[in-house]
Amino acid sequence: MDLSSEDAKLVTLARATRARTRAAQGAAVRDENARTYAAATVDLPHLQVSALGVCIAMAVSSGSTGLQAAVVLGEDGEVAETDLAALRDFAGTGVTVHVGDPRGAVSSSLES
């Protein structure tokens, strides 16, 4: 799948973050000002947050008001509906989400 250079950068960030932490998923987003945020799944006994959920929280807490694109990489090759709902809550509809495997091979793209 051909990605823009900016979306390919998100794949690299998500892949590196996931590999570094050995988490279930890695994600990266680009906000409306082209700032990027990357995160991995948090799975602690008393705190569970998806990689995309952490990215959205980072963007919100940094004062961002929207997102241009997102990447989610993991073994299951899926994005949870709750993550898409959170994405829509924050950024509205029309945000492109690229989904791929841990190696960074994007298998599908969808819109929030």
For the chain, the domains span 5-111
Structure tokens at 37: 């945020």
pLDDT digits (tens, 9 = 90+) for 4-48: 999 999 999 999 999 999 999 999 999 999 999 999 999 999 999
**pLDDT for 4:** 95
- The pLDDT value given to residue 30: 98
**Mean of all residue pLDDT scores within the chain:** 96
- The answer to whether residue 90 scores a pLDDT higher than 90 is yes
pLDDT value for 2: 87
88-101 mean pLDDT: 97
Q: Are 104 and 1 in contact (CB under 8 A)?
A: no
Question: According to the model, what pLDDT value does residue 24 have?
Answer: 95
Domain 5-111 has CATH 3.90.550.10: no
Tally of CA atoms within 13 A in the half-sphere of 62 that contains its CB: 19
Terminal-to-terminal C-alpha distance of the chain: 19
